Amino acid sequence: MRKIKAGLFIALDGVVEAPDEWHFPYFNDEMGAAVDATLGAADTVLLGRKTYDSFAGAWPRRELEGGEDAEFAKELGDMRKIVVSRQRLRFDWRNSEQLTGELPDAVAALKAQPGGDIAMSGSVSVVRQLLDAGLLDELHLLVHPIAVRRGERLFDGGGSSVPLRLLSAQTFSTGVLNLVYTRAEAPAAVGYDEAKKHIAQHS
DSSP string, 101-133: S-HHHHHHHHHHSSSSEEEEES-HHHHHHHHHT
Long-range contacts formed by 197-201: CB under 8 A, 24+ apart: none
Burial letters 123-146, b for 16+ CB under 10 A, else e: bbebbbbbbeeebbbbbbbbbbeb
Q: Distance between CA 147 and CA 25 in Å, rounded?
A: 14
Q: Do the Cβ atoms of 119 and 38 come closer than 8 Å?
A: yes
How many angstroms separate the CA atoms of 183 and 192, rounded? 25
The structure's pTM equals: 0.91
- Could you give the CA distance from residue 109 to residue 98 in angstroms, rounded to a whole number? 14
Strand 164-171: give its sheet, edge to edge.
96-98, 80-84, 42-48, 117-121, 4-11, 138-144, 177-183, 164-171
> What pLDDT does 135 receive?
96
119 C-beta neighbours (distance < 10 Å), count: 25
What is the length of the chain?
A: 203
> What does the alpha-carbon distance between residue 154 and residue 181 come to, in Å, rounded to a whole number?
14
Q: Burial code of 18-28, b = ≥16 C-beta within 10 A, e = fewer? A: ebeebbeebbe
Q: What is the domain class of 4-186 according to CATH?
A: alpha beta
pLDDT for res 203 = 47
Per-residue pLDDT of the chain (203 residues; tens, 9 = 90+): 899 999 999 999 999 999 999 999 999 999 999 998 888 779 999 999 999 999 999 999 999 999 888 998 999 999 999 999 999 999 999 999 999 999 999 999 999 999 999 999 989 999 999 999 999 999 999 999 999 999 999 987 777 888 999 999 999 999 999 999 999 887 777 777 777 777 766 54
Going by the DSSP 8-state scheme, the letter that residue 99 receives in this structure is: -
